[in-house]
């Protein structure tokens, strides 16, 4: 055992070590929000993974009709996302707003078990479910960013997305087990999904503590107080405006993963019971890579990692389009898709968080979500229309060409608006 000759020096070193440990640790709020998202994603992905089969195989939906519903599922959050972000900022009640969104989504899972397969009924419940997602996403991400030092944003969002994606991996497995036991037990899936969503709602209500506004936020000028006008003024900030343009262009050329999985299923002639496992494969890669990608983005540049992620999506299109089949194609397609999500989903929010002031953080992140969700809604409807008119292979080829152009445009805009390399 070594004796300490200078106790004062020892205490100072010990305090520095503790400070370093605290700086490296992920904030408690981030972890609890990650657990909330884990449970909610188990619930949501149980539904998402079987929704294409349920609507096309059981409900008799055409590709165009499914594209409309899928577009609603991916884009309807845009209808309320900006409002919820602004309300959370204005009232300093990010937690309460987010909890309301989680609760609404939980109720919608119960409704799915009772409404049948009518297009209008399904569309309405899906819309409400995505409204719940729109309500919760911006306040939740604002809580993550306000709880985290700016140089660790990528890591914190990566940890949250890793936990979130763990749920996205477990959910399809649960759906697979239920369908393996009873191939048409869709209502059972909806009911189990409801009870799991209630657990996620309980976590955020009972255990999550809202972060305090950082020093200086309360002294913000009147014109910077949270409002729709303040959110609109963010558009005049070159770095933020450039990010929105880049995000919109990239999202317009993004085929929904449901369409990609349907393309893989048809290409490889997979049975219906195996369909939920496609979501598991991509989610596993996402879960493993989310934290490393976040740390990589913090170190080498979030914009660079974001663009590389979309290049990975382009490679996913290429794998599906090439003529060969087999399990190698399946593994490559799912692995690339999961890598794309790991390099983009949390990274874009970390990138936005680094250029948006604290007092309008929820509004700014909601604006990014609104733009991308609207673009993805349009993309899903467009892809469904192209599939109906020219077939899924040619539709995917067209989206591949569009994504090449979108990546080039995004790189140009981010460079011209001088988004720093370290951001």
Q: How confident is the chain (423 residues) per 10-residue block, as mean pLDDT?
A: 40 39 68 93 82 66 69 62 72 86 90 72 76 84 87 86 85 83 77 92 91 52 52 69 91 89 84 73 86 88 92 95 84 92 89 78 80 85 89 92 96 74 45
Q: pLDDT value at position 232?
A: 62
Q: pLDDT value at position 202?
A: 94
Q: pLDDT value at position 228?
A: 56
- Report the distance separating Cα 289 and Cα 280, nearest Å: 14
DSSP 9-74: HHHHHHHHHHHHHHHHSPPHHHHHHHHHHHHHHHHHHHHHHHHHHIIIIIS---HHHHHHHHHHHH
Enumerate the H helices of 182-301 as residue ranges: 186-206, 228-233, 238-252, 257-268, 275-300
242 located within any domain: yes
Query: Is 70 within 8 Å of 256 (Cβ atoms)?
Result: yes
Total structural domains within the chain: 1
296 located within any domain: yes
Residue 148 burial by Cβ neighbours in a 10 Å radius (0-12, 13-18, 19+): buried
Query: Is 414 within 8 Å of 246 (Cβ atoms)?
Result: yes
Per-residue tokens: 40: 């909610």
17 located within any domain: no
355 — phi, psi (to 5°)? -120, 0
DSSP 83-141: HHHHHHHHHT-HHHHHHHHHHHHHHHHHHHTTSTT-HHHHHHHHHHHHHHHHHHHHHHH
- Residue 109, Cβ neighbours under 10 Å: how many? 24
- Between the alpha carbon of residue 7 and those of residues 19, 69, 96, 315, the distances in Å are 18, 67, 47, 58
Q: pLDDT value at position 397?
A: 94
Closest by CA to 352, choosing from 263, 178, 249, 235, is 235
Q: Output the domain CATH number for residue 315.
A: 1.20.1250.20
- Report the distance separating Cα 320 and Cα 97, nearest Å: 40
- Between the alpha carbon of residue 307 and those of residues 8, 251, 302, 403, 409, the distances in Å are 49, 12, 9, 11, 11
339 located within any domain: yes
Q: How far is CA 390 from the centre of its chain?
A: 30
270 located within any domain: yes
6 located within any domain: no
Closest by CA to 154, choosing from 19, 314, 26, is 26
386: domain range? 27-210+234-416
Q: pLDDT value at position 216?
A: 47
240 located within any domain: yes
Per-residue tokens: 206: 């009972």
100 located within any domain: yes
């Amino acid at each position: 055992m070594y004796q300490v000759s200078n106790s004062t020096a020892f205490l100072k070193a010990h305090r520095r070590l503790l400070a370093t440990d605290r700086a490296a640790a992920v904030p408690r709020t981030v972890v609890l929000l990650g657990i909330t998202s884990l449970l909610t994603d188990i619930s949501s992905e149980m539904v998402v993974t079987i929704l294409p089969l349920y609507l096309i195989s059981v409900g008799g939906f055409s590709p165009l009709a499914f594209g409309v519903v899928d577009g609603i599922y991916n884009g309807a959050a845009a209808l309320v996302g900006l409002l919820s972000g602004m309300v959370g900022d204005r009232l300093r009640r990010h937690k309460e707003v987010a909890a309301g969104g989680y609760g609404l989504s939980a109720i919608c899972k119960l409704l799915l078990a009772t409404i049948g397969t009518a297009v209008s009924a399904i569309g309405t419940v899906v819309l409400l479910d995505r409204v719940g997602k729109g309500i919760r996403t911006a306040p939740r991400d604002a809580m993550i960013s306000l709880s985290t030092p700016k140089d660790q944003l990528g890591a914190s969002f990566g940890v949250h997305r890793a936990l979130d994606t763990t749920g996205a991996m477990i959910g399809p497995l649960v759906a697979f087990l239920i369908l393996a036991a009873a191939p048409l037990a869709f209502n059972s899936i909806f009911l189990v999904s409801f009870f799991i969503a209630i657990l996620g709602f309980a976590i955020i209500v009972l255990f999550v503590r809202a972060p305090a506004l950082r020093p200086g936020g309360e002294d913000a000028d009147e014109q910077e107080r949270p409002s729709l006008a303040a959110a609109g003024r963010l558009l005049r900030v070159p770095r933020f405006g450039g990010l929105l343009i880049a995000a919109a262009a990239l999202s317009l050329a993004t085929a929904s993963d449901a369409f990609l999985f349907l393309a893989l299923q048809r290409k490889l002639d997979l049975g219906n019971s195996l369909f939920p496992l496609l979501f598991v494969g991509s989610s596993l890669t996402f879960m493993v890579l989310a934290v490393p990608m976040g740390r990589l983005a913090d170190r080498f540049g979030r914009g660079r990692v974001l663009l590389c992620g979309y290049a990975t999506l382009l490679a996913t299109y290429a794998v599906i389009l090439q003529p060969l089949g087999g399990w190698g194609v399946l593994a490559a397609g799912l692995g690339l898709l999961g890598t794309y999500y790991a390099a983009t989903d949390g990274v874009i929010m970390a990138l936005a968080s680094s250029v948006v002031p604290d007092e309008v953080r929820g509004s700014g992140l909601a604006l990014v979500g609104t733009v991308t969700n609207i673009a993805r809604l349009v993309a899903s409807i467009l892809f469904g229309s192209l599939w109906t008119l020219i077939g899924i292979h040619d539709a995917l080829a067209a989206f591949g060409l569009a994504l090449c152009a979108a990546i080039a445009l995004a790189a140009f805009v981010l460079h011209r608006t001088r988004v720093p390399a370290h951001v």
